[in-house]
Amino acid sequence: MRGFNDDMIQVDAALEKILSSINKIGDEDISIANALGRVLAEDLISRVDHPPNRVSAMDGYAVRSKDINSPPPVRLKQVGESSAGNRFNGLLKELQTIRIFTGARIPENADTIIIQENVIKEKEHILIQKTEVPGKYIRQSGLDFKKGDVLLKSGTRLNFRNIALIAAMNIAWIKVTRKPRIAIFSSGSELVYPGDEIGPDQIISSNSIGLSALIEASGGSPINLGIAIDDMSIIRQKLSNLMNVDLLVTIGGASVGDYDLIRRILGEAKNKIKISRVAMRPGKPLIFGKLQGIPILGLPGNPVSAGVTAILYLVPAINKLVGSDNYQNPIESAITTINLEKNDSRQDYLRAKLSRKKNGELSATPFNYQDSSMLLNFAKAECLIIRAPFAKALKKGNRVKIIRLDYFS
């Protein structure tokens, strides 16, 4: 078909072509209250020292070390207290102490904290039963980080720990990459929406709903354009409604059948198609190119094929759009619990369950049936076992590469 490169390419080559054709999108300023999962578009520099002052790391008593040089018990007079937010104003005089609580500021001339467990209280005095070395249980100003330190780099995807750190840096608003707008639709006259009446030759459209959730979980804003029946004019109308879209995802119509119209339309000479088939299972009929200057990713229609290819290509594409410092999915290893047959020319992604052995090692058990239409097994799966092209037979107990699916929940 004109406009297509019919050479089947390998998985890594396909991913490289996709990522090399996608550029980072623009930025926006947001409150850190709305920053979970967003990607920084600037380095963040602390505006403060943390902690801002010398503070106690324990509940106890602040003392001068020169007042506790004699063997215990040592008797000191309590002249006040310091709590977080309410410091003791003044200096300690000879044989004086103050009650101090965790996080409270320490008097300027105190250099030791005696924890409360080592003290007997006597009205206005204390008896120190065990002394400490100077500096113990004291957090120095700037112990955690200092004003001017670069603590988070551009490209960091923010989790709740990062957000807490940003707040402690005294930063309320940050620059992040805006959420990419990703249009998605399914094609096929057999498809109906969930909850609609199902005709005798129809099935429920599950892919666009599921992949919209994946797009959102990956940091994008899905625009679900619904279902297009197998009609060239209707599909062209869907493809023409792409204002302010950063990426288009189509589901179905990517193979070579008479009703695979997405492939036929995108194969027209005016469009630039870079990928038409990938040597993988499931998901061989994959399309990638440009339509009206917009990147388009055409996924196969079988539910598992659509899901696996979305994990392998759509998620990294979103990461590239938002400028994440890590585009690709993390690869781990596990022990296979069954014998694996030798593989053919296509890279295989076996759906599998995970468990922990007594020694803590992760083990993976593939499902018996790996049909690309079996959505239940895909929903139950906890990882994909990667079998390289022409991989040799592997006995149980050996290591395999896996992609954990809990990263995409």
Q: pLDDT tens for residues 235-290? A: 888 777 788 999 999 998 655 555 456 667 676 645 567 888 999 999 998 989 88
Same domain assignment for residues 160 and 284: no
Residues, the chain: 409
CA-wise closest residue to 176 among 55, 391, 31: 31
31: in domain: no
For residue 130, what is the domain's CATH number? 2.170.190.11
6: in domain: no
Instruction: Assign 5 a pLDDT band (cuts: 50, 70, 90).
Output: very low
For residue 20, what is the domain's CATH number? 3.40.980.10
End residue of a domain, out of 292, 321, 350 = 321
Same domain assignment for residues 122 and 87: yes
384: in domain: yes
Instruction: Give CA–CA dist 272/241, Å, rounded.
Output: 18
Mean pLDDT of 211-232: 91
For residue 363, what is the domain's CATH number? 2.40.340.10
Same domain assignment for residues 310 and 353: no
* The pLDDT of residue 339 is above 50: yes
* The pLDDT of residue 3 is above 60: no
Instruction: Assign 363 a pLDDT band (cuts: 50, 70, 90).
Output: very high
Same domain assignment for residues 310 and 345: no
Per-residue confidence (pLDDT) for residue 2, from 0 to 100:
40
Instruction: Give CA–CA dist 287/132, Å, rounded.
Output: 69
Mean pLDDT of 172-194: 93
Instruction: Assign 291 a pLDDT band (cuts: 50, 70, 90).
Output: confident
End residue of a domain, out of 278, 297, 321 = 321
353: in domain: yes
36: in domain: no
Each residue of 75-126: pLDDT tens digit?
A: 999 999 999 999 999 999 999 999 999 999 999 999 999 999 999 999 899 9
Same domain assignment for residues 309 and 255: yes
Mean pLDDT of the chain: 92
Instruction: Assign 233 a pLDDT band (cuts: 50, 70, 90).
Output: confident
**Contact of 269 with 221, CB cutoff 8 Å:** no
4: in domain: no
**Contact of 204 with 192, CB cutoff 8 Å:** yes
Mean pLDDT of 174-188: 94
Domains: count for the chain: 4
CA-wise closest residue to 379 among 209, 223, 227: 209
Same domain assignment for residues 193 and 121: no
Same domain assignment for residues 295 and 384: no
* pTM attached to this predicted model: 0.88
Residue matched to tokens 């759906």: 351
Per-residue confidence (pLDDT) for residue 275, from 0 to 100:
83
Same domain assignment for residues 171 and 208: no
Same domain assignment for residues 121 and 185: no
Mean pLDDT of 171-198: 93
Same domain assignment for residues 363 and 378: yes
* The pLDDT of residue 200 is above 60: yes
Same domain assignment for residues 124 and 16: no
Per-residue confidence (pLDDT) for residue 131, from 0 to 100:
92
Task: Supply the DSSP string of 186-211, one letter for each residue.
Answer: EE-TTEE-TTSPPPTT-EE--HHHHH
251: in domain: yes
Q: Which two tokens stand for residue 207?
A: 């892919």
Task: Supply the DSSP string of 258-290, one letter for each residue.
Answer: TT-HHHHHHTSTTSEEEES-BSEES----EEEE
Same domain assignment for residues 112 and 215: no
Q: Which two tokens stand for residue 247?
A: 């990426």
Q: State the residue range of the domain holding 401.
A: 332-408
Instruction: Give CA–CA dist 338/350, Å, rounded.
Output: 12
Q: Which two tokens stand for residue 12?
A: 């890594």
End residue of a domain, out of 296, 321, 346 = 321
Instruction: Give CA–CA dist 347/385, Å, rounded.
Output: 10
Per-residue confidence (pLDDT) for residue 268, from 0 to 100:
61
326: in domain: no
Instruction: Assign 1 a pLDDT band (cuts: 50, 70, 90).
Output: very low
